[in-house]
A = this chain, B = another copy of it.
């Protein structure tokens, strides 16, 4: 059902980023199902870190949460993911390490234009996303409160925590440890750096309980070391290094209150949300621990936290 064959492109010339930079950007997106006459069956389902539309299939199907027989599902590829405009596909002089920072706010502003200009959509039934996809859902609900009816943010926070900033800075250091990286002006992909990042990321992605309960056996791995050797060493090879680094910067800058409206007041930003909000942290998540969501929900008009159990 999910394939690149039906990808469409929405291009905006002279799009102005939050930073003030003007540039031409292309958003690659997929639609599934049909927009009904009332235009009230819209679901927006943004992508995650290092993911594309191709990794979004797990929630979509007639028996699954997102049923394309019923809903018009739009999957926008996040900028810098290698499919939409990214360091790896931008024209000179904004290519590679010279591609500007694109924030979650920029992603959402652009998606808004797509929905308005191409589909003339006024209401969104649901925005759902995982990890950075959930950040986009949260951002949508703050940025366009009258337009968004429901959001589900799985493993995502309204603001990147100091701890996550530090974790991500470590991942940045790991990838750029490769001499071939050459400050982003590489000729060949710095795959050794991607391996270093993957090896240092693995412990974060796979929590203590996953090992304690030996869940890796269910997934066909005999030992923790085998998980590293067979699953993780090459996991980022299919992504471009500058794209991976740009998405780290996007993640680090995520803060729904960091704008002229809320001026850094997170409580005010959360209180402004009109949508029903369901926050779904993983109970053992190491970079999106439930505690932040439990703090956030206090300020939401219509919010709840549904903690995902570990197995």
Chain B residues near A192 (CB-CB < 8 A): 177
In the bound assembly, the distance between CA atoms of A193 and B193 in angstroms comes to 12
Q: How far is the CA of A250 from the CA of B212 in the complex (A)?
A: 20
A286 and B286 CA atoms in complex are apart in Å by 8
With A161-B211, A161-B212: A224-B174 Cβ-Cβ less than 8 Å: no
The answer on a CB contact under 8 Å between B201 and A163 is no
What are the residues of chain B within 8 A of A170 when measuring CB–CB? Answer: 199-203
Q: Residue A196 contacts which of B167, B173, B204 (CB distance < 8 angstroms)?
A: B173
The answer to whether B177 and A224 touch across the interface, beta carbons within 8 angstroms, is no
> What's the Cα separation between A179 and B225 when bound, in Å?
24
Q: If the complex has contacts A289-B208, A292-B212, are A203 and B163 also in contact, measured as CB distance less than 8 A?
A: yes
A169: chain B residues at CB < 8 Å are 199, 202, 225, 228
Give which listed residue, B163, B202, B204, contacts A212 with CB less than 8 A. B163
The answer to whether B179 touches A224 (Cβ under 8 A) is no
- Whole-angstrom CA separation of A289 from B203 in the bound complex: 13
Q: Does A184 contact B (CB under 8 A)?
A: no
Chain A positions 183-217 with a Cβ under 8 Å from a chain B Cβ: 192-193, 195-196, 199-204, 206-212, 214, 216
Rounded to whole Å, the gap between the CB of A279 and the closest CB of chain B is: 16
Most B-side CB within 10 Å, residue of A161, A192, A203, A225? A203
